[in-house]
Amino acid sequence: MSLQLNYAVVSDRGLVRGNNEDSAYAGPNLLVIADGMGGHAAGEVASQLMVTHLERLDADPSDNDMLALLGGVADDANREIAEAIRENPETDGMGTTLTALMFNGHSFGLIHVGDSRGYRLREGRLEQITVDDTFVQSLVNEGKLDPGDVSSHPQKSLILKAYTGRPVEPTLRDLDARPGDRILLCTDGLSDPVTASTIEQTLSEGAPEEAARRLIELALRSGGPDNITVVIADVVETDDLDDAARAALPTVAVTAGALLGEPQEETHPDTSAGRAALLSRRPQTISPDGEITPQPLTGARPAPSGAQEVAAVPAGDSGRRGRFRLPALILSLLVLLGLAAGGWWVKTTIDNSYFITTGADDHLVIQHGVNFSVFGRDLHTPYQEACLNREGDLRLVDVGSTEDCSPFRLQDLPASLRTQVAGLETGSYDEVTQQLRRLAEQALPVCIDRESTPTEGDAEAAGDLSRPGVNCREVK
């Protein structure tokens, strides 16, 4: 039995993000998806480095160990990410997820790190073949969270593993392949807003590229809050195909996302979210009768046709002047009311918002307000400092308080969590304190004082807990 892959890749930056940090690749022997992270810290660079390294594996591996090949090349890419950060310190914090499958003609080798997902559709049933390396998934594994509540959890984006230039242990596993299997790799831009049942139904219909485009459209119709990238591949038994069908199978690799650069303009579905995204990226004019007109993206900006009509009104035609003055007056009043309502909304939002940041010595601090500045003035103030005692109990004290406090520092967390703190969402006071509690639950153990350890053997049995900020945390 001879098996081949029929594959397609589609990517869209979504309706909110200004750029695409995803990178994807599909070829006869390799499927890869990588979701860059870090925003201004160049997440798209990290995803590109990962995928361009793995591209070398798109060849028949024969009897070679596919898992060893995937793990080794991913480590090489991770080292290059570390080197890129050393050469450009402003990119510190960039990283990427990775989900990739290598195909040898009868089975797959899978490597996975992060929250990009792999699915397999077999005989009409969708199966997730990866497990998210996220904080909420750890809660599911411990029985503390229902799987159905994952997508709405405020900490769903808190990733525990990613390729950030630091050592990371990927998930590696073998996967069998059968004729008729359909493989889906996707970033969380699809899996977050679109339910598994909808993915299953959509994935069951059409050729790979057709199904991929429908999944992208579904994510956009759900608001498109993130970059959306999809890789779909069918496992095809070529012995049953005629010459024309066999020749139609792809043999050239395809890529998408950050690997292709930024498209000039993307097509989005005709929905309120899609129209709003398109309008937000194009200049607009408002005619005197209140009509909003998007202007061309390039070239001269024509004057509103209504304004030209007003200028052509004879001086004595007071009736026509009145027709244009009234809508303009109404529009002005609406603008004023909108500004007043907007000001009230902004003040309310600032008053009810909190977020976590790092203060002096990377001490975790709750800020009151929103993480923005206007004309150099911060819209937030330090509110409370986080303290963590030897037993791992979290306590919050007011900024400037004289109470004894062993600061809860960034270095008290495992390295894989530190880069995620800056990305924690703004929320209510209760939500933010809950974020801190979850971080405290994952804090490093307290350092062991070697001098007070009864014997060297006891200390070794306890593990190397003498390097603060690496294996353990100090408590003052």
Digit-coded pLDDT (tens) for 231-261: 999 999 998 888 899 999 999 999 999 988 7
- The CA dihedral of 184, 185, 190, 196, to the nearest 10 degrees, is 50
Q: What is the structure's pLDDT at 336?
A: 72
pLDDT in tens, 20-41: 999 999 999 999 999 999 865 6
What pLDDT, on a 0 to 100 scale, did the predictor assign at position 130?
97
pTM over 0.85: no
Euclidean distance between CA atoms 165 and 94, whole angstroms: 9
Residue 277: φ, ψ to 5°? -65, -40
CB 236 within 8 A of CB 249: yes
Q: What separation, in Å, do the N-terminal and C-terminal C-alpha atoms of the chain show?
A: 66
pLDDT by residue, tens only, the chain of 476 residues: 789 999 999 999 999 888 899 999 999 999 999 999 986 568 999 999 999 999 999 999 989 999 999 999 999 999 999 999 999 988 888 999 999 999 999 999 999 999 999 999 999 999 999 999 999 888 988 888 888 777 777 777 789 999 999 999 999 999 999 999 999 999 999 999 999 999 999 999 999 999 999 999 999 998 888 999 999 999 999 988 888 999 999 999 999 999 887 554 455 655 555 554 544 444 333 344 444 444 443 333 333 333 333 333 343 444 434 444 556 667 667 777 776 666 666 666 777 788 998 887 788 999 988 887 766 678 888 888 889 888 888 888 888 777 788 888 888 888 877 888 877 888 888 788 888 888 888 888 888 765 544 444 444 444 455 566 667 888 76
Q: Are 165 and 45 in contact (CB under 8 A)?
A: no
The span from the CA of 366 to the CA of 16, in Å, is 27
- Provide the pLDDT for residue 416: 75
Domain ranges of the chain: 3-261, 354-442
How far apart (Å, rounded) are the C-alpha atoms in residues 365 and 368? Answer: 10
Tokens in use for 106?
Answer: 């009868």
Contact between 362 and 388 (Cβ < 8 Å) = no
What CATH number does domain 3-261 carry, 3.40.50.1580, 3.40.50.970, 3.60.40.10, 3.90.180.10?
Answer: 3.60.40.10
Angle among Cα 316, 317, 323 to the nearest 5 degrees reads 145
Query: Residue 147 burial by CB count (10 A; 0-12/13-18/19+): exposed, middle or buried?
Result: exposed
Residue 26's beta-bridge partner residues? 31, 254
Residue 263: per-residue pLDDT: 57
